[in-house]
Amino acid sequence: MKLLSKIPMTVLAALAATTVQAQDYPGGNPVVAVVPFAAGGPTDKVARDVTAIMSKHLKGQIVIENVGGAGGTIGAKKVAAARNDGHTVLIHHIGMSTAPALYRQLGFDPLKDFEMVGEIADVPMVLLGNKNLPPENFKELLPYIKANASKLFLANAGIGSASHLCGLLFMSAIGTQLGTVPYKGTAPALTDLIGGQVNLMCDQTTNVAGQLKAGVVKPYIAMQSSRIDAFKEIPAASEQGLPGIEVKIWHAMYAPKGTPPAVIEKLSAALQAAVQDPVFRAKMEELGAQAATADRAKPESLRKHLGNEIGKWTPIIRAAGVYAD
Ligand code: ASP
């Protein structure tokens, strides 16, 4: 009590309000989960699947808001500046760790301007082509690209997006530059790939599983050193003479800095329950992805992972001299 009497009333009142707010959270108001890419794409897919299960655990509604553009940085910036009452969260991917090196005028700091909630899932990527592209396999694709580089266009979801990074790695591995076309997400890019407005694209399997199964796009390689369990028929990059390629896209959830710890705890507990949910795990596996473990769906684990990823990507991007602004 002695100690309490030394704390100003305003602080006590604020603490009490926070506790009441956290106990009632989320209450009657929905939680808005901002996806910084277009609806119907891979980040959107993971976000909708995970929040459907989290909503049940939170006993409140989570609605998705798609805020695409600039490789995911517009949506992330919006969440960094949002009210920190637990009613706005961000579901992003690896771009959260590459943006600080790519954007000199980023307007937010991924480590300082967010509270971490936890990791959600890892998703592999594949290199795809329009169905009518003449090469039937990667062996034929390589000379075709070299001979037609000036006429071929590679779609992506903006600078710093997973598809952009994957495309950069691919072009540097084959020593050939292609024209690139940015979209607000790979959902609209996939529509144009199918329509033939662009020729090639790297994308997460969570976006293209249906189209691969329906045979409406041509898969060339899995952008990793081993085949993807759900798509064993697609050769791994390492089997096709591109040994250094290993792209894994991780998705995670964040809240604006200063979101009350008790709220973060509730969000993270719901996330941990969701990633262990057999329905969510099975959905991810079917799409070639892997749900995070419960330990990875925790704030400390995400903070460490994000820090490591920023440490990994910053020197690579600086050495490449690539900037988005
Ligand atoms: N797949 C996109 C990317 O390349 C993101 C998305 O549309 O969800 O980053």
- Strands annotated E in the chain: 31-35, 62-66, 88-92, 114-130, 153-156, 179-182, 200-204, 217-222, 248-256, 290-291
Residues lining ligand 1, Cβ inside 6 A: 37-38, 41-44, 156-157, 161-163, 185-187, 203-204, 207
Question: What is the per-residue pLDDT for 323?
Answer: 84
What ligand 1 atom has the least distance to the C-alpha of 68? 7
CA atoms of 4 and 13, how far apart (whole Å) = 12
Give per-10-residue mean pLDDT for the chain (325 aa): 45 46 86 97 97 97 97 97 98 96 94 98 98 97 97 94 92 93 96 97 95 95 96 96 92 98 98 98 96 98 97 87 82
Q: What is the pLDDT of residues 112-147, one digit of tens each?
A: 999 999 999 999 999 999 999 999 999 999 999 999
- Calculate ∠ Cα 39-297-318, nearest 5°: 70
Q: How many helices (H) and strands (E) does the chain have?
A: 12, 10
Question: What is the per-residue pLDDT for 21?
Answer: 61
**Two tokens, residue 206:** 């969570």
CA atoms of 129 and 122, how far apart (whole Å) = 23
**Two tokens, residue 21:** 């707010």
Q: Whose CA is nearest to atom 8 of ligand 1?
A: 43
